[in-house]
């Protein structure tokens, strides 16, 4: 009987356990469903955008010049915040973001002084690092139940919400490559801030830098709004904009920046522009200006520097145009380097118009007209050409109303006389030596490259190639304005003449032993409202080559140096030489020296390195000694302070004791009985 009862009880117990397990499982399943879905049955999935970023700009030696970073906003919904824990939440947020507490409290109040309801944004310019910290803070806040589900929806709530607000542009090296790099501005698109190029390379290549595609993550979300990553979750990978890989060598660029800063101060110039271009393919290895700026901190006085002078500044080039005039006449077969001209002993009149030379001579051949920079001689060479021939020839060199095509932003156009006006002997003469014509720095360096590259020149290029996230390279069309104005033989003749200009003409100060250097100076007065003034543009365009096939075309423009240095031979040429020396120091040019001179050079280089090392070591020793003395002085002061405090304390203690004793003495009763002796003269009573 007892066994039957036991069986019945066991069956009932088993049945009860099964029922309880079923109930627990059902509750668990319902809970999972409530966590998997938002409380609102209509919202079953959540879609998040993984925002793509604008591409970066990177130098040829691997330095990031410009890049985009994500910016975030932090917000919360007042409905889900526990009022009793509001101060706790704000204090933590203040610590994590380094935002003043009072500033945060003000963001919770509207203009009428009432507490805001709904979504409140505490910050909308948070960097990625701070965003990570805030996401950690969110989990801590949830653990302390600072935010919780309230109201109609019992299973879903928003806590501290960190969203990507947009992107901002960073320039880690600040003024490096400005102003050719340009700058950017933010634009709003449905509450998301994205970057667009506004000048320079940033604008020129904007469509490639911004060729991007946002990624997506779509799936069911949990009670806090986060997507639950399951097999059914959908992912679309983002594609950032193309990175631009430059031809520019940052090391060389920074070296030239240093040189220009020195010479701008030394020459008292308004600006100096320099470019170094590989002659064979027109790749720009450096292009810079002494007037630079930080794209993230542009000051009012720097506004005029925002446009790159190399492309947007058009000016009368002066004598640097003479080799081009000379080249056209050589190429036409109108003269040879030995053709002689009467140069009127340095003074010639065309009606009332006077042309003079700095170095008077009676007779000069065409070659020496360039070497000695004769205005009269080059005028007579130009007169051998018809107006149409001269005009078309200049245009073939890329001058006049056309652009160089350089890829660093907006370009100004040059200016030459029309064919009809070039029939005038005066206009033809002034054009021949670079007056009455306007050109940009970019046009001139492209034109001069013809002489060092066998009669051919390509458009100068700052960008080497584009690259996507997966590392695939994209090369743009190499060139769309190839110059072939003269034959290879004519280019060789002009090149030889330019080498002689450096050997024995106005460019003598540019000589460097063991290198092939050629070029032409240009000193041109600047026209003002009342005519030409004593203000000058000084320039030197030329080339530097070595025996190993390294060939560079180099341009220097000095804008308005002080009058004492207004000749190009005193200003532009020394800068040119320092630029070439910088190429030598970086082993981009290798002078052909004798063994003895090479050994002397190496010894000098070694000595220089040792001196720098010794100076650095001495600086470290001096710094240590300075810190030691400072530490000793600090310890001495601390000891003196302690001693003074101790002395002061002892003095106070003595004073206190004295005062205490006096007080005690005055308060202590006199217990001694004093006997008073009667006076001796007191009369008897009886």
Residues 208 and 263 in one domain: no
Which of 601, 625, 649 is the endpoint of a domain? 625
pTM of the shown model: 0.75
Residue-level pLDDT at 276: 98
Q: Are 275 and 546 in contact (CB under 8 A)?
A: no
Residue-level pLDDT at 41: 43
- pLDDT (mean) for 147-170: 79
Q: Which helix (H) or strand (E) holds 601?
A: helix 595-667
Q: 361-376 pLDDT, tens per residue?
A: 999 999 999 999 999 9
Residues 156 and 204 in one domain: yes
Phi, psi of 180 (to 5 degrees): -65, -25
**Greater confidence, 517 or 628?**
517
Residues 533 and 418 in one domain: yes
74 in a domain, yes or no? yes
214 in a domain, yes or no? yes
Residues 239 and 353 in one domain: no
- pLDDT (mean) for 314-338: 97
Which CATH number fits the domain that encloses residue 395? 3.40.710.10
Residues 325 and 416 in one domain: yes
Residues 265 and 329 in one domain: yes
Residues 403 and 513 in one domain: yes
3-state helix, strand, coil in the chain (%, to 5): 40, 20, 35
Residues 191 and 290 in one domain: no
For residue 153, name the pLDDT band (cuts at 50, 70, 90). low
Tokens of 167: 């992107």
Q: Which helix (H) or strand (E) holds 365?
A: strand 363-365
Residue-level pLDDT at 39: 41
Residue-level pLDDT at 620: 82
Partner residues linked to 166 by β-bridges = 71, 193
Does the pLDDT of residue 315 top 60, yes or no? yes
For residue 685, name the pLDDT band (cuts at 50, 70, 90). very low
Tell me the residue range of the domain where 616 lies. 593-625
- pLDDT (mean) for 141-149: 86
Which CATH number fits the domain that encloses residue 182? 3.90.1310.10
684 in a domain, yes or no? no
- pLDDT (mean) for 153-169: 81
Q: 388-403 pLDDT, tens per residue?
A: 999 999 999 999 999 9
Q: 256-310 pLDDT, tens per residue?
A: 999 999 999 999 999 999 999 999 999 999 999 999 998 888 888 888 888 889 9
Residues 277 and 333 in one domain: yes
Specify the number of domains making up the chain.
3
Residues 586 and 597 in one domain: no
Q: 337-362 pLDDT, tens per residue?
A: 999 999 999 999 998 899 999 999 99
647 in a domain, yes or no? no
Tokens of 216: 């997506």
For residue 320, name the pLDDT band (cuts at 50, 70, 90). very high
For β-strands 243-246 and 57-58, DSSP reports them as parallel
Q: 65-96 pLDDT, tens per residue?
A: 999 999 999 999 988 898 999 999 999 999 99
DSSP 627-672: HHHHHHHHHHHHHHHHHHHHHHHHHHHHHHHHHHHHHHHHHS---P
Residues 268 and 141 in one domain: no
Which of 547, 573, 592 is the endpoint of a domain? 592
- The segment with the largest mean pLDDT, out of 41-50, 529-538, 649-658, is 529-538
Residue-level pLDDT at 629: 84
Residue-level pLDDT at 640: 77
651 in a domain, yes or no? no
Residue-level pLDDT at 232: 73
For residue 627, name the pLDDT band (cuts at 50, 70, 90). confident
Does the pLDDT of residue 675 top 80, yes or no? no
Mention every residue, 6+ apart, whose C-beta is less than 8 A from residue 393: 324, 328, 331, 332, 385, 485
Q: Are 601 and 565 in contact (CB under 8 A)?
A: no
Least confident of 182-196, 279-293, 478-492, 616-630: 616-630
Q: What is the mean pLDDT of the chain?
A: 85
11 in a domain, yes or no? no
Which of 549, 577, 592 is the endpoint of a domain? 592
Does the pLDDT of residue 105 top 50, yes or no? yes
Residues 482 and 541 in one domain: yes
156 in a domain, yes or no? yes
- State the burial class of residue 425 (Cβ atoms within 10 Å of its Cβ: 0-12, 13-18, 19+): middle
673 in a domain, yes or no? no
């Amino acid at each position: 009987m007892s066994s039957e009862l036991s069986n019945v009880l066991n069956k009932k117990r088993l049945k009860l356990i099964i029922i309880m397990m079923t109930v627990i499982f059902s509750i668990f399943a319902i809970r999972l469903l409530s966590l998997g879905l938002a409380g609102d049955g209509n919202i079953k999935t959540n879609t998040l955008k993984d925002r793509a970023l604008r591409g970066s700009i990177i130098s040829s030696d691997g330095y990031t010049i410009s890049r985009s970073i994500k910016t975030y906003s932090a917000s919360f919904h007042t409905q889900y915040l526990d009022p009793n824990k509001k101060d706790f939440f704000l204090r933590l947020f203040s610590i994590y973001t380094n935002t003043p507490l009072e500033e945060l409290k003000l963001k919770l109040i509207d203009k009428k002084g009432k507490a805001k309801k709904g979504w409140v944004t505490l910050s909308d310019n948070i960097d990625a690092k701070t965003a990570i910290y805030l996401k950690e803070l969110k989990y801590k806040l949830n653990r302390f139940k600072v935010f919780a589900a309230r109201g109609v929806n019992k299973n879903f709530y928003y806590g501290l919400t960190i969203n990507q607000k947009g992107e901002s542009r960073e320039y880690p090296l600040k003024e490096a490559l400005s102003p050719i790099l340009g700058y950017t501005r933010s634009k709003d698109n449905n509450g998301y801030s994205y970057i667009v190029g506004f000048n320079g390379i940033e604008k020129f290549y904007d469509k490639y830098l911004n060729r991007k595609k946002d990624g997506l993550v779509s799936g069911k979300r949990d009670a806090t709004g986060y997507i639950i990553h399951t097999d059914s979750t959908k992912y679309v990978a983002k594609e950032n904009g193309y990175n631009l890989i430059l031809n520019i060598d940052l090391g060389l660029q920074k070296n030239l920046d240093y040189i220009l800063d020195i010479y701008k101060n030394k020459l008292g110039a308004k600006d100096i522009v320099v470019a170094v271009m590989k002659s064979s393919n027109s790749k720009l290895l450096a292009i810079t200006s002494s007037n630079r700026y930080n794209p993230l901190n542009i000051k009012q006085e720097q506004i005029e520097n925002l446009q790159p002078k190399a492309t947007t500044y058009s000016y009368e080039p002066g004598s640097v145009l003479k080799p081009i005039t000379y080249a056209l006449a050589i190429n036409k077969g109108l003269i040879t380097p030995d053709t002689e001209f009467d140069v009127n002993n340095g003074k010639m009149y065309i009606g009332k118009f006077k042309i003079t030379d700095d170095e008077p001579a009676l007779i000069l051949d065409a070659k020496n007209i360039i070497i000695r920079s004769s205005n009269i001689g080059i005028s007579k060479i130009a007169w051998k050409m018809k107006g149409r021939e001269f005009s078309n020839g200049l245009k073939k060199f890329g001058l006049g109303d056309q652009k160089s095509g350089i890829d660093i932003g907006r370009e100004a156009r040059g200016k030459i006389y029309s064919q009809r006006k070039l029939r005038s002997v005066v206009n033809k003469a002034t054009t021949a030596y670079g007056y009455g014509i306007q050109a940009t720095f970019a046009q001139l360096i492209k034109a001069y490259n013809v002489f060092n590259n066998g009669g051919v020149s390509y458009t100068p290029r700052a960008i080497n190639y584009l690259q996507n996230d997966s590392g695939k390279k994209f090369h743009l069309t190499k060139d769309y304005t190839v110059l072939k104005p003269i034959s290879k033989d004519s280019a060789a003749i002009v090149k030889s003449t330019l080498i002689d200009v450096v050997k024995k003409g106005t460019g003598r100060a540019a000589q460097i032993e063991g290198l092939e250097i050629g070029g032409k100076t240009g000193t041109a007065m600047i026209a003002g409202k009342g005519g030409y003034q004593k203000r000058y543009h000084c320039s030197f365009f030329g080339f530097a080559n070595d025996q190993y096939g390294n060939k560079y075309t180099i341009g220097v423009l000095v804008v308005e140096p002080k009058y004492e240095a207004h000749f190009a031979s005193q200003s532009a040429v020394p800068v040119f030489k320092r630029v070439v020396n910088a190429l030598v120091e970086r082993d981009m040019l290798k002078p052909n020296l004798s063994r003895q001179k090479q050994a002397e050079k190496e010894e000098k280089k070694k000595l220089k390195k040792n001196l720098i090392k010794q100076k650095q070591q001495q600086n470290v020793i001096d710094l240590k000694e300075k810190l030691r003395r400072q530490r000793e002085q600090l310890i001495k002061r601390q000891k003196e302070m302690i001693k003074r405090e101790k002395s002061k304390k002892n003095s106070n203690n003595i004073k206190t004791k004295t005062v205490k004793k006096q007080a005690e003495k005055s308060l202590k009763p006199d217990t001694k009985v004093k006997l008073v002796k009667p006076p001796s003269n007191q009369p008897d009573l009886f």
